[in-house]
Amino acid sequence: MKAGASSGAFRPRRLGHVNLYVADIEQSMSFYRKVLGIEEAYRTPLGGGGFVSNGNTHHDVGFTAAFGPLGKPRGAKPGQLSHIALELENERELVEDYYRAVKAGVSFLRTTDHDIAHSIYGRDPEGVIYELYADVVKDWRTHRSGVVTKPKPDWKPGMTPPVEKACYHEVPVITRVPEAIFHPLRTTHAAIVVANMEKAVDYYCKVVGLAADPACGGKPFAVLKGTCNERSLILYSASGIRAPGYHHVAMRVASPAELAKSADKARRAGIPVVAEMLHCGRCSVMVRDPDNCLVRFYADEGREPGADDVDPSLALFVL
Ligand SMILES: [Fe+2]
């Protein structure tokens, strides 16, 4: 067992991004910039990929063309989750943790050299694909802007000397899209509805290495955190009205006042607001993207609401 936030095989810091299958990369990139307020970072046309970011990491959200060269062979449909991605401290930890997990009997789907980051992909017991990655380049903007066509060489953990230092930015420069309707600071967490809560929490703690908030014991939801001690993943028990699967991505905005203004602006612009609520001091506004994926923006009036503060029936829309 390693010291730190969890006793898992890995020790992720936080959620880095979600990647969604989309019908039309152009449409998604445009909507996320003009409406949701996240800038285009770069594109990878050879794989049918598009990536948006406000500077927190190289991408807060990634898009994969459902009918493109990566999506088509996987039978992807627009609006499906491709994967969630969790950031590790550095590549050395990624490599060491990978071999520890493999030795313990964990199997993974694939490993990939993304040039700026090295990644390991696995599948959780619910079928959700997760990526564990470490940045290997700090100045990602130099390597990732515009159209990127650099091929991705074969990579197995450890076949290149692992980068020892942390390459994420402690205090990233966050940009703002002034003309957009919403103004998120960054992606913070993803919400997934699960069929078997106990099994899913066990996997995310023991294999992925997130730490479960003990205050969620006995509740229909679980809050999982990385070593940054922020919510990275919310799991919610499936019910008759809520089927298992990816539910939404959550993005923090600067203040409740700004969020209220954005919600009004969205309505005036004809963008349907799926949900808007103030609960336990947290304001949340949900909208759908062009592929029907839910995006939730939130801001707190005071401290972050705790698991015991929240009405369990609203937790999926509040936490
Ligand atoms: Fe990814």
| Final residue belonging to a domain, choices 97, 130, 147 | 147
Distance 62 CA to ligand 1 centre (A): 7
Shared domain check, 131 and 39: yes
Distance 280 CA to ligand 1 centre (A): 32
Shared domain check, 190 and 136: no
Residue 250 corresponds to which tokens in the numbers above?
């959550």
Can you give the pLDDT at residue 295? 98
DSSP secondary structure code for residue 205 in this structure: I
* Domain contains 205: yes
* Domain contains 133: yes
Total structural domains within the chain:
2
Shared domain check, 201 and 124: no
Q: Look up the CATH number of the domain holding residue 138.
A: 3.10.180.10
* Domain contains 161: no
Burial of residue 96 (number of CB atoms within 10 Å: 0-12, 13-18, 19+): middle
Shared domain check, 191 and 287: yes
Distance 3 CA to ligand 1 centre (A): 27
Distance 237 CA to ligand 1 centre (A): 25
Residue 179 corresponds to which tokens in the numbers above?
């003309």
Distance 129 CA to ligand 1 centre (A): 10
Q: What is the distance between the alpha carbons of residues 113 and 264, in angstroms, rounded to a whole number?
A: 43
Structural domain of residue 92, as residue ranges?
14-147
Q: What is the distance between the alpha carbons of residues 242 and 18, in angstroms, rounded to a whole number?
A: 21
Shared domain check, 237 and 137: no
| Final residue belonging to a domain, choices 119, 147, 175 | 147
* Domain contains 176: no
Distance 315 CA to ligand 1 centre (A): 26
Shared domain check, 189 and 141: no
Can you give the pLDDT at residue 6? 53
Can you give the pLDDT at residue 153? 80
With b for 16 or more beta-carbon neighbours within 10 A and e for fewer, the 34-50 pattern comes to ebbbbbbbbbbeeebbb
Contacts of 167 (CB under 8 A, 6+ apart): 90, 134, 135, 136, 137, 138
Distance 117 CA to ligand 1 centre (A): 10
* Domain contains 64: yes
* Domain contains 262: yes
Residue 20's nearest CA partner among 38, 6, 34, 2 is: 38
Which pLDDT tens digit goes with each residue over 202-211?
999 999 999 9
Can you give the pLDDT at residue 7? 66
Radius of gyration of the chain (CA): 19
Which pLDDT tens digit goes with each residue over 251-303?
999 999 999 999 999 999 999 999 999 999 999 999 999 999 999 999 999 99
Shared domain check, 203 and 293: yes
> 214 near 205, Cβ under 8 Å?
no
Identify the residue whose tokens are 């919403």: 182
Distance 18 CA to ligand 1 centre (A): 7
Distance 63 CA to ligand 1 centre (A): 9
* Domain contains 4: no
**Segments of the chain with pLDDT less than 70:** 1-7
Distance 4 CA to ligand 1 centre (A): 24
* Domain contains 310: yes
Three-class DSSP category at 246? strand
Backbone angles phi, psi at 197, to 5 degrees: -60, -45
Distance 119 CA to ligand 1 centre (A): 8
Distance 218 CA to ligand 1 centre (A): 32
